[in-house]
Amino acid sequence: MIDDELTKRSTEQTGPPVQQQEGAPQTTPVAGRDQRVWLRFAGLGIELATSTLLFAGIGYLVDWMLALPKSYATAAGTLVGFTIGMIRFIQQALKGTGNSVS
Provide the phi-psi class of 18: left if phi over 0, else alpha when psi is between -120 and 50, else beta.
Answer: beta
58 has pLDDT over 80: yes
Whose CA is closest to 30, among 45, 43, 14, 11?
A: 14
pLDDT > 60? residue 18: no
Answer whether 0.85 is exceeded by the pTM.
no
> What's the pLDDT score for residue 93?
83
Please tell me the distance from the alpha carbon of residue 44 to that of residue 85, in angstroms, as a whole number: 9
Q: How many CB atoms lie within 10 A of CB 75?
A: 13
